[in-house]
Amino acid sequence: MNYLIEKTVLTIEPTLALKIGLNESIVLKQLHYWIKKSKKNHNGKKWVFNTYKQWKEQLPFFSEKTIQRIILNLKEIGLIEIQQIDKNKMNRTNFYSINYEKIDQLFENLKISSETPPITKQEENKKLKEKNQMRAAVFIVKSF
């Protein structure tokens, strides 16, 4: 039972996982967690840095190669940015930031399709007719 109650909790967003893949959504969610805590600002965005080894320590169920592949995939689809932003040119550390605008774009179509379509006049009349028939049936039953 103790295995179900861990100190560290990773959550996934099912809708995000359906859109970009389970592994990508896990890494993106972990990156989002660290960005919220980050104090490193560059060009109006928050950035975090981790080596693949450090990401593996946080996500031990992925190999370093898998993490590298996931991160490059997230960059390729435009959901994250990777830059070497340290002022010291000798420091080649990759910093990561999330492109939140791109994530919003991914879900724009979903928001539109999830809205209830407007009821046509024909459908409205059909529902009204069914409702009146139910009232008539109830009236007939009560009359006896």
pLDDT by residue (tens digit) across 75-86?
999 999 999 877
Which residues touch 84 (CB under 8 Å, ≥6 apart)? 91, 92, 93, 94, 95
| Mean pLDDT, residues 112-119 | 52
Q: Given a cut of 50, is residue 24 above it in pLDDT? A: yes
Question: Which residue type sits at 116?
Answer: T
Single pTM value for the model: 0.70
Q: What is the dotted CATH code of the domain comprising 2-98?
A: 1.10.10
pLDDT digits (tens, 9 = 90+) for 125-143: 776 676 666 555 444 444 4
- Domain range annotation of the chain: 2-98
CA–CA separation, 31 and 50 (whole Å):
10
